[in-house]
Structures are given as C-alpha cells and as structure tokens.
Amino acid sequence: MASSRTEGSRKSKAADAVANRQKQLEAFTQGPENLLTTNQGVVLPDNHNSLKAGLRGPSLLQDFILREKLTHFDRERIPERVVYARGAAAHGYFEVTRPLVEYTKADFLQEVGSRTPVFVRFSNLLGARGSADTVRDVRGFAVKFYTREGNYDLVGNSMPVAFVQDAMKFPDLVHAMKPEPHHEMPQASSAHDTFWDFMSLMPESSHALMWLMSDRGLPRSYRMMEGFGVHTFRFINTRGGSCFVKFHWRPKLGKHALAWDEAQRIAGKDPDFLRRDLWDAIERGDCPEWELGLQIVDEDRAGKLGLDLLDATKLLPEELVPILWAGRLVLNRNPDNYFSETEQVAFHPGHVVPGIDFTNDPLLQGRLFSYTDAQLARLGGPNHHELPINRGVCPMHNFQRGGAHRIGIPKGRVSYEPNTLASGSEFRVDGGEQGFQSHPDDVESPKLRRRSPSFDDHFSQATLFWNSQSAAEREHIIAAFQYELSRVETPAVRQRMVDNLAHVDAKLARKIAEPLGIGPPDARAAAGQAGFREPRGRPALESAPSLSMEANGSGIQTRRVAVVMVPGAELGAFKVIQQALLDAGATTKVVAAHLGTVASSSGQQVPVDHTFLAMPSVMFDAVLVPGGAAAAQALLKDGAAVHFILEAYKHCKPLCLIGESVEVLRLVGLAQADAPPAAGVIVGTNEPTTRLQMAQDFIAAIGRHRHWSRGQIEQVPA
Ligand code: HDE
C-alpha cells in the first residue's frame, strides 16, 4: 500500500514538472483578439488606410501607427543559423526507465519515472532555412532538458561521427559544403566541386562521408531516425567518480530511409515533408518516441578500446560496448509559434548540469566557445536565456546586468559579490562543494598546436561501416558517390576522391570510378597528397551489424498506405485488408484521378481523399490496389494511376495487388504469370479464403519497410 502511494506520488510529481513548464510558457502566449492595438496598447481606428493629407494626398510622417507597423515588419527576420538553419521542433518529456545513480549525480537521471520537460529541434546541417527537407544531409537532433538543476542541452546528430577532428577545421568544412560563394549554388547539396575538393584532401572525413552517402543521409521521418551525442562526455557520481559516456537515441518506430530518387522527388512535391510528418503525427496523437541509450566506459578501459574516445570521427561499436537503455523521450505537443520557439531556441553543448561534464575532444572544446558566440550574433544580445523557450524551470540568479532586451527586473542596489548590503550579512561564493564541479582533470603539459597520433587512423572505421552494410545498402552508397562525383566538374577532384576511397575498400573505389571518366583508383597516389596521413590501425571488429538499417522490423504503426481507386473496383478483399491495416496501426488514404467519389463494381460510392496529382506515390509507404476485371481495364488506361503504382515499385515499396490489378506490372514485363512475385509484392485473388493471408503478408511486407533487394527496378520507366 505504502509503495503504491509512493509510486502514485512519484508519477504525479513527474507529471507536475511537465505541466509546470507548460504553464510557464503559457504565461507568455497570446491568443487571437478581436481588437487591434499598437505595441503601446493604443486601439487602432483602421488597419487598412494610412494617414494622408487629403484623400489623394501624400502620407504623413506623424502617422505613428503606419511607422510602427512598417519598422517592425522591416525587422521581422533574424540571421538564420550558420549551420542547421532549417529545422522543426516539438515539446515533450523525458522519463527515466533505469536510474543512473552509480554513474552520475545529475538529478534528472536519478529516479525511475521522473519526468523532465524537453524541447527538441531536428534540422538539416547544410540547407538554408528555406531549403527542402529530404535532401541528402546530416540531421541535427538537439534536445533541451529543462531540469531542476538548470537546462541541459544534448546537441547531437543523426550520425554518430563528425567530419573533422578539430574545431579549427569546422569553418572550412562548412564553407566547402555550403553553396559556392561566387554564385550561391547549389542549394542544400553536397554534389559540387568545393565540397569534394575539400573531402578529397581530408582523409579524416572518410568515415562521416560513408554515413552521408549511405541511406542515413535520407531519413524517412524524424520519428524513424536515430540520434547520437557524437562526442564522448563524462558522467560524475556523488562520490566524485567519473566515467566516459556516449549518448544514443533509438526511435521506437525503427530506423528507416527513403530511396534516393524518391527523396529528390519529394523535395519538389513537398519540401516540408519531414516537418509535416512530425507535426501531423503529434497532432494525431501518435507521439513519437525514442529510447535514451548510454555506452559507459570506465577510465581504465578507455585506453584499451583500440580507438581514441576523444576523436569525434570514430564511433564506439555497440558490439564492443553494449548500450544501456535508461529512458524514453516522448514528443507530444507542437510549438505554438515557429519563430518564438523553433527559431529562437538557443542550444549549447556547454549547457550542462552537475553530474555531466566534457572531455578534451578538440571538436567539442571548440563548440563550447562557438554556441554562445553564435547566439549573441543570431539573437542579438546576451539576454536570450530570458526568452520563454530558453528559460530554465529552476530559479536563476547572478549579478550579470543590463544588455539588450533585458526582461527580468533585478531588485535592490547590489549587483556585485561579495557583499554585505543585500542581506545584511556577508555573502560570498568561492570554491565551495556546492553546484557544478568541473572534473579535476590533470592538464599540465606544454602548449602544442598539433594532433595526437592516436587520431591518425582515418579509414578503419569507414571500412567497418562499409563491411557492415547489406548488399543493397552498399549499392546505394556506390550510387550516391557516383551521382555526387559525376556532378563534380574537375576531373582531378574526382580522381583524388576515388584514390582516397581505395583506402576504405578497393572494390568500392573501383565501382565508383567506373562511370566517372577517370583512371582506376590509386591508393598510393592518395597517400602522397597534402593533408593525407598514412592509415593506421585495424578495426577492432570486421563488421558491426548494428550499423546496418536493413531489415529493421518495427511494426507498421503510422505507416501511410495509398489505396489506388479506379471505377469498377471490387471491394470485398480490399475491405478486409484495409481493416487489418488499420487494426495494425497504419493509415489508409484513397487516391484517385479526381476528388469526390469513385463508383465500385457494386455501385458503392467510395470517398476519395487525394488525387494522383496532389499526392503522388512518394508520399506513401505502401500501395494497395483493389481488384476486378473492369477496374483493371480502367487502371491500364489511366497513366497517372499506372505511374503511381510503378513508381512505388521502383522505390521498393510494399505493394498489394488484388486480383486482376497485377496486370499493371505485366505492362512493363515485371510479373510473369508462372513466376513468384518480386520481394514485397503481394498478389492474390479476391476470394474470401485468401484475404486474411494477403492482409498478413502485406502487413509483414510493410513492417520490413522497403524491399531494397527487389529486382528489375531499372526496368521501370522513371
Ligand atoms: Fe554545431 N553549431 N558546431 N555541431 N550544431 C550550431 O549554433 C559548431 C557540431 C549542431 O537546433 C550553431 O545556434 C562548431 C557537431 C546542431 O538549434 C553554431 C562546431 C555537432 C545544431 C555551431 C560544430 C553539431 C548546431 C549554428 C565545430 C554534432 C543545431 C547556430 C567545433 C554533435 C542546434 C547555432 C539547433 C548548431 C557551431 C560541430 C550539432 C554556429 C563551431 C560535431 C544539432 O554555433
């Protein structure tokens, strides 16, 4: 009884923390009003006409209402983030499922069930604020925890490794990757000369490059994307004991990617694809969820892993150090205002709480400087911590004063320390046991502008990644390199890049080089280049299955299934399969040539959700086509419907073709009457006896996400 009371009070305390944060934000929200006023609260007489001298005369300078409206409008934009400019965010909470008392004293990680409010922003590293969501890119995964001990920001990525080892090279990387400075092209794409010129001279980038060229660069959804803290951090426990930690976010819906051709098409059809997907899921109540995982390494073991934990271009394979799952992140509320929240949120890897500390990773060290600096430039002053989205939930007090846009009103005459005037007795803070204690690392050493030799191994993990991919994933990597390098105008850059890749895998480099009009890859030539250090070290593992995304089954919750509806469709089997899909958590949408209704074989009017034109196949995860002889005839005559189905086939999506509708594949020679259907294609008759089996097979096929090994996709006209 007592324990259930404790449990109950713990749950209500956890819920309170999240509700209180929401209340704190609500104090700043404004609803729509019927009355318009100036910023000073003076009611507007008219919001259509400026003040003029006479009906057709010039406008008057004294029109303070017009002046205020225009000056505010002229200043509506702030500089976009120099990287990770395009983003989408949501509110939610983090809940502890496995307390971490033995590793860290961080208050928010101590108790099972304790909940901490969070704000999470996903973003594209490369693209500008107005670019498209689905371009090939690294995604940001930044989490702000509003803890009782202050805000903690875990500012991570969708890939576990960085492109460069030292902060000194980050501006060069970003300059090379962004549109070229003379003509600002190309937007949101790494497929251009400056990026590959830089990459070919930076062997340390090889590992991250492999991730970027893989399916990881094309997430199907933020909700189906992993997150990583990238750097190694430190945990400190109450006894002052320290261990190293690497952070992971694992999505509950599994990790999944788009097809490259599909991603490019979506960028045109719906540039907001990923942010819309996140927004819609939360609005529907399908709250996205991730597990927090930790790889904990004690200091003694750190030196024996065969890699340097301070090198952010390396990951720690979970096959070497297993992941401890410790909490869940749930996003359940969309922001009220994009600018006030998503744009003004200010993350910083240096926002830590007692129990979490940094390591000497030279990339992380640079970040510790850069984020405050970036926020000062972006948000226009030193008081951005007072913006509602950035405010902590615990009391905040110090003697920093003034600055642009100060919101708080500090009382009293004292703004210094030590003092006796504030409370009457002496108040001073110097070196106590309280508060944030930096880990007392020993740093006695000469000043050196050099890199540790333990950072010299640039290829073994790129090879590990390559070795760990499935056959289809490898094909995707080769195709991505070929595409990007074929956009590079300078043959010497293409050559240098494939020479470099020969250090990752000779066959990979050879394959990539084939259509590029250059010579065969020459690893020895690469080794002679500027910036190139000889590869060192051997991977501790030959391959790590956890690095592959294929066959990452995770159910079909929230998957979008298109129902291609043409006149005369027989609805018997279709209805059974549709119900089974809905029961398993998917959604179905009827797509047809026009809105309104389509008549079935029995004359039933089937309501249409979308047209082929407005909602092409790339907006769906799978396609279901009802059968019927008349319907099949109608289908084959409807180019848009045929294209819809064949495009889904080309993108390796699960298809369920009932009865005669399979004819659509035969049109282009994709299905032979006597041969088994291709991977992920479910065919069957309209007979009642086979309906349930078809439904089960289709659900299993959707659960596998994509059938990348499906043959003959190149036969499908683009
Ligand atoms: Fe960032 N990074 N970064 N970064 N970063 C920024 O901060 C920077 C790095 C990451 O949703 C900027 O407010 C430097 C690695 C994310 O608001 C800026 C270096 C990783 C976000 C900045 C790095 C990241 C940022 C841009 C090398 C993966 C978006 C404006 C030393 C772990 C956060 C701003 C959001 C944003 C600098 C390297 C992740 C300029 C100098 C490695 C997810 O301060």
Q: What is the DSSP string of 52-83?
A: BSSTTSPBPTT-HHHHHHHHHHHT---PPPSS
User: pLDDT-derived band of residue 536, with 50, 70 and 90 as boundaries?
Assistant: low
For residue 367, give the ligand 1 atom closest to its CA. 31
Say if residue 167's pLDDT is above 70: yes
Closest C-alpha to ligand 1, atom 20? 156
Say if residue 387's pLDDT is above 70: yes
What are the beta bridge partners of residue 118?
92, 145
pLDDT digits (tens, 9 = 90+) for 263-297: 999 999 999 999 999 999 999 999 999 999 999 99
For residue 363, give the ligand 1 atom closest to its CA. 31
Expressed in angstroms and rounded, the spacing between residue 340 Cα and the centre of ligand 1 is 20
Q: How far apart are CA 267 and CA 256, in angstroms?
A: 18
Q: How far apart are CA 650 and CA 713, in angstroms?
A: 5
Determine which of 117-126, 142-151, 418-427 has the lowest per-residue pLDDT on average.
418-427
Q: How far apart are CA 190 and CA 212, in angstroms?
A: 10
Measured from CB, residues less than 6 Å from any atom of ligand 1 are: 81-84, 87, 121, 123, 140, 142, 155-157, 162, 167, 170, 230, 312, 347, 363, 366-367, 370-371, 374-375, 378
pLDDT, residue 431, reads 77
- For residues 53-64, b (16+ Cβ closer than 10 Å) or e, as one string? eeeeeeeeeeee
For residue 365, give the ligand 1 atom closest to its CA. 31
Expressed in angstroms and rounded, the spacing between residue 152 Cα and the centre of ligand 1 is 15
Q: What is the pTM of this model?
A: 0.96
User: pLDDT-derived band of residue 5, with 50, 70 and 90 as boundaries?
Assistant: low
pLDDT, residue 2, reads 45
pLDDT digits (tens, 9 = 90+) for 625-634: 999 999 999 9
Say if residue 1's pLDDT is above 50: no
pLDDT digits (tens, 9 = 90+) for 14-70: 889 999 999 999 999 988 788 999 999 999 999 999 999 999 999 999 999 999 999
Q: State the Cα angle at 28 between 24 and 30, rounded to 5°.
A: 135
Sheet holding 681-684, edge to edge: 610-611, 587-592, 560-564, 622-625, 655-658, 681-684
Q: Dihedral (C-alpha) 242, 244, 249, 255: value to the nearest 10 degrees? A: -160
Mean confidence (pLDDT) of the chain = 94
What are the DSSP E strand ranges found in 283-416? 289-298, 324-333, 356-357
Closest C-alpha to ligand 1, atom 14? 367
Mutate to test the pocket of ligand 1, among 81, 177, 211, 233 (most ligand atoms within 8 A of CB): 81
pLDDT, residue 672, reads 75
Mutate to test the pocket of ligand 1, among 80, 367, 375, 389 (most ligand atoms within 8 A of CB): 367
The answer to whether 164 and 202 have CB atoms below 8 angstroms apart is yes
Describe the chain by its helix, strand, coil percentages, rounded to 5: 35, 15, 50
More confident call, 583 vs 553: 583
pLDDT, residue 430, reads 81
% the chain with pLDDT above 90 = 86
Expressed in angstroms and rounded, the spacing between residue 368 Cα and the centre of ligand 1 is 10
Expressed in angstroms and rounded, the spacing between residue 123 Cα and the centre of ligand 1 is 11
pLDDT, residue 6, reads 64
What are the beta bridge partners of residue 688?
none
pLDDT digits (tens, 9 = 90+) for 641-676: 999 999 999 999 999 999 999 999 988 788 777 778
User: pLDDT-derived band of residue 530, with 50, 70 and 90 as boundaries?
Assistant: low
pLDDT, residue 541, reads 87
Determine which of 103-112, 234-243, 684-693, 702-711 has the lowest per-residue pLDDT on average.
684-693
